[in-house]
Structure 1
Amino acid sequence: MSAQLSAMQRAIQRIHTLVEAPRLKSFSLNAPKTVEVEYANGGKFSLPAEFLRVYSPAADGKIRSIGGEKVIFGRRHVGIMSAEPVGNYGVRIVFDDLHKTGIYSWDYFYTLGTNKFTLMRNYIKTLKKHGLSRDPPKRK
């Protein structure tokens, strides 16, 4: 299963770099829980904070590596604190778990939006496979 997820992530990265998304029509931050993006072709996506955090395009020290597979877990309740413009091509999202190095291009938002259900399903399967949860670990 992890090979499937890795293959899918590589395929998405290839699609992301090879296919140009339609022109962005609007971007809306509905902090702390969602980002909404709409494109000129009519595509409109509501992307939850947890989903965006898990699929951040940045490397993150809070990722757990299991058998070479990077898995982010415990982010069900993560929130978005802000979205800062980066040039004309995207935004840097700052999450309340202090992750702030991911720059989301408009093309990447489109890729995430068009593949949201498959990506989320695969993410949940990966967590189950490794005995991890979307919920944060309980404090001791």
Structure 2
Amino acid sequence: MSERWPKELRVSPDRKLLTITFDNDERFELSAEMLRVLSPSAEVQGHSPDQRITVGGKRNVAIMKMDPIGHYAVRITFDDMHDTGLYSWVYLYKLGSERATLWQNYLDELNEKGLSRDPVR
């Protein structure tokens, strides 16, 4: 995949959806929940594959703000105060283009670990 550049990033009024359009006119809608649970941060991904954690309970998470990081990424702050992931254009393109597979893998991991998308009450 050659590197793609975003033309537009738009957060929905309810803050639950990020729509990103790339320079090849591909457009992806990524839920705040998916962005949060697949955060590229070390907190979620760990420092090696065996340290990666499965984050549950984020069904209702919302995007609070987005800050550009140079010309290559955006930092997303979620309403649960997670803000350590830098979402590169390459990573956002991967999330969009592989969304169905990545999301199903996440749902399968939740099931295997007895976790839920719903917040703990």
Task: Give the TM-score of the pair, scaled to structure 1.
Answer: 0.76
Distance 1:69 1:109 in 2: 19
Give the aligned partner of residue 24 of structure 1: 6
- How far 1:120 moved relative to its partner? 0.6
Give the aligned partner of residue 128 of structure 1: 111
Equivalent residue for 2:36, pick from 34, 53, 69? 53
Larger radius of gyration: 1
- How far 1:60 moved relative to its partner? 2.0
Counterpart residue identity of residue 98, structure 1: M
- How far 1:90 moved relative to its partner? 1.5
Give the aligned partner of residue 54 of structure 2: 71
Runs of 4+ in 1 over 6 A off after TM superposition: none
Q: Which moved more, 1:110-119 or 1:34-43?
A: 34-43
Q: Equivalent residues in 2 for 1:1-16 (5 A)?
A: none
Distance 2:97 2:3 in 1: 10
Provide the alpha-carbon RMSD of the alignment.
Answer: 1.8
Query: Unaligned 5+ residue runs, structure 2?
Result: none
Query: Unaligned 5+ residue runs, structure 1?
Result: 1-18
> How many pairs align?
116
Counterpart residue identity of residue 31, structure 2: P
Equivalent residue for 1:108, pick from 91, 104, 108? 91
